Structure 1
Amino acid sequence: MSVSTPMLVTFVIYILGMVLIGFIAYRSTKNFDDYILGGRSLGSLVTALSAGASDMSGWLLMGLPGAIFLSGISESWIAIGLTAGAWLNWKIVAGRLRVQTEHHDNALTLPDFFSSRFEDRSKLLRVISAVVILIFFTIYCASGVVAGARLFESTFGMDYQTALWAGAAATILYTLVGGFLAVSWTDTVQASLMIFALILTPVIVIIAVGGLDDSLAVIEAKSMENLNMLKGLNFVAVISLLGWGLGYFGQPHILARFMAADSHRSIRTARRIGMTWMILCLAGAVAVGFFGIAYFQNHPEQAAGVSQNGERVFIELARILFNPWIAGILLSAILAAVMSTLSCQLLVCSSALTEDLYKGFLRKNASQKELVWVGRLMVLLIALIAIALAANPENRVLGLVSYAWAGFGAAFGPVVLFGVCWKRMTRNGALAGMVIGAATVLLWKQYGYAELYEIIPGFIFASIAIVVFSLLGRAPSVAAQQRFAAAEAEYHAK
């Protein structure tokens, strides 16, 4: 495959821009609080777009359009579930978590928050939650590396192993150098690029096919089933797809954005911006896959790429339909999606290793400068492990993401949700919920009822465990209940 010079130039300019932002953020990073949480200084716009970009990853431009392209509109149940889950997360959790983390020893990470909120002097909660983060985020990071490799492989004709390193290198560099501020600022640019690509591309595809009516007629002629929201789905399958929305309550990289907002009062505006962005992006991703069916049905001679891998539908449409300069910008949106999520995940893994394990157990009196450099070293370590896990070229982005998403959703989701809403929750309830949620996902994946997405039983069993173990044990201390009440009062204050 010949490499288009305009496309290559666009990619290089984009990557250099992101790295430059990383070095600018480096100058604003004075201590570990800045490196991990940006000094809690994010405004509404950056909070919203950073949460959205860190959430969606390469799945938005590759996994979801690919699923729609291969199976039809029935795969859009995932998008519906995600939209509902994200809105509830913004509405119920975001503002409360921002206030609660500040009232509980200014917690910088989720394990930090759990440990303080539930007065866990044994540090068991901190260790288990850090281990859960490392296990599932390393898998999640691998999915980002796979998506980046697929992009470089398709665009520049690289072999898969070279593409792995090319796709990951820039993300590792700006995360390593700039920390949370670099990740959040680049996320804002990347979110803007993603929404531009996902609105423009389906419009051009529809025009290329001959208009909306002609596009729908071609899709219908190929198979009426492509228009059927229940194609091949029973009740359990629909519930499983909608169940993706439960994952939002437990995703550390999204929750970190809420914790980093400059005030809980910024959350309301951020919610409106974030949800508008999300709905437009998901609708665009569904439209790319759906109308891609019509385009490649009319042009089978150009369908070799998507025939090999349906997740390349956005890449192929961008390359075929657009001027190489515009195509370069559109394909940079995939890189943006990959980089934005991978960088957040690397940073959360780094914080778990540095704040919750290294500082928590090995070097309690470590200096701020030492912690920042250990954090950078941990970013590099996790990135190398993720690249090793992604080395299998048969990996599929959506499969890796679904496993990690379920793991976090079930292990942390109920703990976070009950933790910010129920003052009677105890340490034993949190421990039971976390362990049972994570174990259910792992076991259900291996031995369970395959049609039911493992996040649903994991979330249900973890919630039951939290309530039962909390009520069976001694009530939280008076001090813990007072801290919770003070945070609630601040959250509700005008």
Structure 2
Amino acid sequence: MVLSFSFFLLLFTLIGLASYWQSRGTKQDYYLASGNVKPWLVGLSAVATNNSGYMFIGVIGYTYVTGLAAIWLMIGWITGDFLASLLVHKRLKAAATATGEVSYAGVLSVWSAGGNQPALQRVIGVISLVFLLAYASAQLVAGSKALHVLFGWPSWAGAVMGSILVTLYCFAGGIRASIWTDAAQSIVMIVAMSVLLFTATQSLGGVESTLMQMQAIDGFLDWFPKSLALPGIAGGLLFAISWLFAGLSVIGQPHIMVRFMTLDDTTSMNKARLWYYLWYIAFYLAATGVGLLSRIYLVDTEAFDAELALPTMAMELLSPAMVGLILAGLFAATMSTADSVVLSCSAALTHDILPHQIENQYLIKGVTVVVTFLALLGALANNHSVFSLVIMAWSGMASAFAPLLLALCVGMRPSQFASLAAVASGLAAAILWRYLDLHEKAYEGLIGIVTGLIILCLAELFRHVWNKDKVNVS
């Protein structure tokens, strides 16, 4: 078990370090790999970054507790992600190329009104830094949980190991190292999840026998959870739509969207999306299936941590070598997101928040080390579930950034004041929704994104009326 896990860990590290030989030593190369990454690498890297420890730990734990109703998380998430990609991805890549910007915040601030908006760039940078640090901490926590269960290591060991590895290959090759390791990690991730799904189903006597055992659990195969915001069909529809907005929220995630900004050419976007969605659908189906099966194998008690369902089930069903593969897949998932998040944090701090004139290679790499250390501290102090941490960070950034990006993609060019108002109001609405403990009824990102869009539409309407009045007066 330790041997197979160590083998894959060493493989990922060597792949990341090998990217050093392709490094050009420039800011553009460190943050965007000089904008010449092939479509298949972009697709696999984006899906590995998206399908993080949240999928191995959070989604499986959520499915264990919720049952079949968790499938709406998958359907809504992927559908929303796909719809957003039709409008946003190619336009964002084109804007990054046209503006020469290397960060997500930089592109939005320059694109917004066709000129530099430094206040907007810094605000987006600060919000990104705060939420991405929470996101990175969640990934390190996910890896630690698995190592704790499978090896009996201290709960801090996985977080420390993960932070060291992330620092090594981010320091070596920047986003190119991250993308190369992501591609390898995505293959190990889907193989690990598929092996566990197949083995668990066969151990229960096949598909038909498995379904019969699930039906024996009260309410486990209900299509919707019992705690809906509204009764009947209306509540189920709101539940599904809220998760669609969770998928659409991908456009508000700097660490994922920057992958598409590294693509070699906008004409290659469809190829990248094909790789991305084929891998995404297959992996999400396998993860949901494993989550459902885990409820049969593992007793539901108050003392049991549902987010440990996957490693616990792997130990019961698989040989030591295969358990090592599962752990490698889980650890790969956490690292593929952690390194992406750390690089986006570094970009937010060095390129978006600090003055551009002090930006250089030494500062960029030094900040990468500092950011990784801060994420490690957050992981060691963590007392929340991986699922709740990721959803909080995901919805916060989506509520702040997605409305502005959507508006830009449909041709709106809001002023800096209107953009800042939309960012602030969307984020505030999402935080308030969660503070009022309404996030279990409907995803807070839905509320935040709609709020931000309303602000931008009102600003656009006011601008048209104002310009019309000026023409009439003259």
TM-score by length of 1: 0.87
Query: What is the identity percentage for the equivalent residue pairs of Structure 1 and Structure 2?
Result: 27
Q: Which residue of 1 aligns with 2:386?
A: 397
* 290, 294, 314: which one aligns with 2:292: 290
CA contact (8 A) 1:152 1:167 kept: no
Counterpart of 1:440, as a letter, is A
Q: Which residue of 1 aligns with 2:13?
A: 19
* 422, 426, 431: which one aligns with 2:415: 426
Q: Which residue of 2 aligns with 1:466?
A: 456
Deviations 1:411-446 (A, max 9, x none): 111111111221444333322221211222223222
* 312, 321, 324: which one aligns with 2:320: 324
Q: Which residue of 2 aligns with 1:478?
A: none
Deviations 1:421-474 (A, max 9, x none): 214443333222212112222232223644232111110110011122234348
Q: Which residue of 2 aligns with 1:314?
A: 310
Q: Which residue of 2 aligns with 1:168?
A: 163
Q: Which residue of 2 aligns with 1:10?
A: 4
CA distance in 2 between counterparts of 1:156 and 1:198 reads 19
Deviations 1:27-82 (A, max 9, x none): 22221111111111111100111111111110111111111112211122111111
CA contact (8 A) 1:141 1:342 kept: yes
* 379, 382, 387: which one aligns with 2:376: 387
Say yes or no: does 1:281 pair with 2:280: no
Deviations 1:333-362 (A, max 9, x none): 1011100001000000101111123343x5
Counterpart of 1:452, as a letter, is A
CA distance in 1 between counterparts of 2:411 and 2:320 reads 54
CA distance in 2 between counterparts of 1:70 and 1:63 reads 11
* Residue aligned with 1:412, SS: helix
Say yes or no: does 1:443 pair with 2:438: no
* 23, 29, 40: which one aligns with 1:29: 23
Q: Sort the Cα spacing of 1:233 and 1:357 in 2 relative to 1 into closer, same or farther, 3 A.
A: same
* 114, 121, 130: which one aligns with 2:108: 114
CA contact (8 A) 1:428 1:469 kept: no
Counterpart of 1:435, as a letter, is A
CA distance in 2 between counterparts of 1:406 and 1:40 reads 28
Q: Sort the Cα spacing of 1:89 and 1:42 in 2 relative to 1 into closer, same or farther, 3 A.
A: farther
CA contact (8 A) 2:76 2:240 kept: no
Say yes or no: does 1:258 pair with 2:253: no
Deviations 1:351-396 (A, max 9, x none): 1111123343x52xx5xxxx22212211211221122222246421
* Residue aligned with 1:395, SS: coil
Counterpart of 1:62, as a letter, is I
Counterpart of 1:68, as a letter, is T
Q: CA deviation at 1:261?
A: 0.4
Q: Which 10-residue stretch deviates more, 342-351 or 226-235?
A: 226-235
Where does the alignment leave 5 or more consecutive residues of structure 1 unmatched? Answer: 1-6, 476-494
Counterpart of 1:248, as a letter, is V
CA distance in 2 between counterparts of 1:424 and 1:243 reads 23
CA contact (8 A) 1:22 1:179 kept: no
Q: How does 1:105-184 map to 2 (within 5 A)?
A: 106-117=100-111, 118-119=113-114, 121=116, 123-184=118-179
Q: Which residue of 2 aligns with 1:374?
A: 363
Counterpart of 1:469, as a letter, is A
Q: Which residue of 1 aligns with 2:39?
A: 44
Where does the alignment leave 5 or more consecutive residues of structure 2 unmatched? Answer: 229-234, 466-474
Q: Sort the Cα spacing of 1:377 and 1:474 in 2 relative to 1 into closer, same or farther, 3 A.
A: farther
Q: Which 10-residue stretch deviates more, 26-35 or 232-241?
A: 232-241
Say yes or no: does 1:231 pair with 2:225: yes
CA distance in 1 between counterparts of 2:129 and 2:252 reads 14
Q: How does 1:59-98 map to 2 (within 5 A)?
A: 59-98=54-93
Deviations 1:392-412 (A, max 9, x none): 464210000010000111111
CA distance in 2 between counterparts of 1:278 and 1:161 reads 30
Say yes or no: does 1:357 pair with 2:346: no
CA contact (8 A) 1:208 1:295 kept: no
Count of aligned residue pairs for this structure pair? 454
Say yes or no: does 1:268 pair with 2:262: no
* Residue aligned with 1:158, SS: coil
CA contact (8 A) 1:209 1:295 kept: no
RMSD after superposition: 2.0
Q: Which residue of 1 aligns with 2:472?
A: none
CA distance in 2 between counterparts of 1:14 and 1:373 reads 30
Q: Sort the Cα spacing of 1:271 and 1:121 in 2 relative to 1 into closer, same or farther, 3 A.
A: closer
Q: Sort the Cα spacing of 1:308 and 1:168 in 2 relative to 1 into closer, same or farther, 3 A.
A: farther
Counterpart of 1:339, as a letter, is M
Counterpart of 1:383, as a letter, is T
Counterpart of 1:178, as a letter, is G
CA distance in 2 between counterparts of 1:137 and 1:112 reads 17
Q: Which 10-residue stretch deviates more, 281-290 or 319-328?
A: 319-328
Counterpart of 1:278, as a letter, is Y
